[in-house]
Amino acid sequence: MRVIIYTGKGGVGKTTVSAGTGVLCSELGYKTIVVSTDPAHSLSDSFGKRIGKFPVKVTEKLWAQELDVNEELRINWDKIQGFIVKFLSYQGFDKFIAEEFAIFPGLEELFSLLKINDYHSDKSYDVVIVDCAPTASTIRMLSFPDIVSWYMERFFPLERKLVKTIRPVAEKVVKFPLPTDDVYSQVEDLYRKIEHTKKILTDVKTSSVRIVVNPEKMVIKESQRAYTYLNLFGFPVDLIIVNKVFPDEIEDRHFKKWKQTQNKHVEFVREVFAPIPMKISFLGDDEIVGLNKLLKFAVNLYGEDDPTEIFYEGKPMKIEEKNGRYHLKLKMPFFSKRDVNVWVKNDELIIELPSFRRNIFLPHTLASSRVVEAKLEDGILTIEFEKIKGR
């Protein structure tokens, strides 16, 4: 199964590219589904056909689905949420606030993403295309597996069996609720699903993340940031799509300056995302709605290429050993030296970027080593670790 995820700033054309790619893949003979994880779905508008929360057959080989975030949340989180609310209420939180607190922003979208896991296990489709919410949400959604795992480890630290044995006695003593067996079941299920989904999404052979941009300054800026974070979380970006580029046919004097500006931006995109390849799609003479227009759009975009191809296969994160020292290398284009702060705390590496922080659980060897040097050169952050003597 191949997974293709489209992300990008609001309104750049993610849904159009997703739906178009879906039509093209199905025409190429792949059993394809286009799944929207954006709570503000628009696949129905794009296909010109009512799409629902279950897969709807669009053509012989094409399905589409607009996931119901509340339902996914209920399936994956209701017991855990119940426990957190109970726990927080015991701590004196107002029930309403506790309920709000038990659902983090981005959680719904994360659970939508877990659907990929089901399709992978069932081998239901050859190609799964994911139409995401605008970039900020996608980044949150993709970074969530790490964050949720971190949170769960701290919230549910005790062994399930132990809790089962001591609960009747312990609750009397500690005066707060301990998780019941069904809460633990849901935690374990969720863990398994998150881990598996992460494995699928970070495997370059299975998944591709493709960033859609428009030839506009602000859009490109946001996408550069997204690209750095995607790298940091280990998601394989293999293509940049520049959409809504003015075609040559537009010769009107009024657009001359616009075209020059766009050309400049297209070149900038090519430069800053290199070596990730770039494809261009032109602004059509009308909205791109319905199967015929979507197919034409996708054929123009992908040309002779098969969208299920892997367009770039570089590893965003690497660990190398050199003279007894480990070098952790992270691709971090677009950030200058003064933007990045790095330190190690216990078994975690903390990388701080403006308005963002990432904790990386270090592999055992690195966790018992100390950081000697961190340098950012040519868009690669290299952190050098040295073994602590005697360990």
Ligand X SMILES: Nc1ncnc2c1ncn2[C@@H]1O[C@H](COP(=O)(O)OP(=O)(O)OP(=O)(O)O)[C@@H](O)[C@H]1O
Q: Which of 22, 106, 134, 145 binds ligand X (CB under 6 A)?
A: 134
- Judged by beta carbon, residue 113 or residue 288, the one nearer ligand X is 288
Q: Binders of ligand X among 307-346, rule CB under 6 A?
A: none
Q: Which of ligand X, Mg ion, none interacts with 64 (beta carbon under 5 to 8 A by kind)?
A: none
- Give the span between the Cα atoms of 148 and 104, in whole angstroms: 10
- Strands 356-361 and 348-353, bridge-based pairing: antiparallel
Taking the complex as a whole, the smallest distance from the CB of residue 129 to ligand X amounts, in Å, to 13
- Applying CB under 5 A, the span of 11-19, 46-54, 241-249, 284-292 interacting with Mg ion comes to 11-19
DSSP three-state, residue 321: strand
Taking the complex as a whole, the smallest distance from the CB of residue 56 to Mg ion amounts, in Å, to 17
- Judged by beta carbon, residue 6 or residue 385, the one nearer Mg ion is 6
Radius of gyration, CA atoms only, the chain:
23
**Tokens read off for 319:** 């660990």
Q: Which of 27, 31, 39, 42 binds ligand X (CB under 6 A)?
A: 42
Phi, psi of 369 (to 5 degrees): -115, 170
Told to check if 15 binds ligand X by CB under 6 A, we report: yes
Taking the complex as a whole, the smallest distance from the CB of residue 36 to Mg ion amounts, in Å, to 7
Q: Where are the alpha helices (DSSP H) in 28-68?
A: 43-47
Angle at alpha carbon of residue 284, lines to 279 and 287, rounded to 5°:
115
Told to check if 197 binds Mg ion by CB under 5 A, we report: no
Told to check if 38 binds ligand X by CB under 6 A, we report: yes
Q: Binders of ligand X among 239-298, rule CB under 6 A?
A: 243-244, 281, 283-284, 287-289
171: left (phi > 0), else alpha (psi -120 to 50), else beta? Answer: alpha
- Applying CB under 6 A, the span of 5-13, 86-94, 268-276, 312-320 interacting with ligand X comes to 5-13
Q: Which of ligand X, Mg ion, none interacts with 36 (beta carbon under 5 to 8 A by kind)?
A: none
Taking the complex as a whole, the smallest distance from the CB of residue 281 to ligand X amounts, in Å, to 5
Q: Which of 1, 3, 15, 179 binds Mg ion (CB under 5 A)?
A: 15
Q: Which of 1, 4, 5, 12 binds ligand X (CB under 6 A)?
A: 12
- Applying CB under 5 A, the span of 10-18, 70-78, 161-169, 342-350 interacting with Mg ion comes to 10-18
Cα 157 to Cα 86, 128, 332: the distances in Å are 17, 35, 33
Bond prior to 275 in cis (omega within 30° of 0): yes
Q: Report which DSSP code applies to 337.
A: G
- Judged by beta carbon, residue 17 or residue 374, the one nearer Mg ion is 17
Cα 49 to Cα 27, 39, 42, 43, 289: the distances in Å are 18, 18, 10, 8, 10
Taking the complex as a whole, the smallest distance from the CB of residue 283 to ligand X amounts, in Å, to 4
Told to check if 139 binds ligand X by CB under 6 A, we report: no
- Judged by beta carbon, residue 84 or residue 240, the one nearer ligand X is 240
Told to check if 105 binds ligand X by CB under 6 A, we report: no
Q: Which of ligand X, Mg ion, none interacts with 284 (beta carbon under 5 to 8 A by kind)?
A: ligand X
Q: Quick one: three-class SS letters along 96-143?
A: HHHHHHCCCCCHHHHHHHCHHHHHHHHCCCCEEEEECCCHHHHHHHHH
* Structure-derived torsion over alpha carbons of residues 339, 344, 348, 349, reported in degrees to the nearest 10: 30
- Judged by beta carbon, residue 208 or residue 214, the one nearer ligand X is 214
Closest CA to 352 of 360, 339, 341, 343: 341
Task: With beta carbons less than 8 A apart as the criterion, state whether 48 and 23 touch.
Answer: no
Positions touching Mg ion (CB under 5 A) are 14-15, 42
Binding stretches for ligand X (CB under 6 A): 8, 10-16, 38, 42, 134, 243-244, 281, 283-284, 287-289
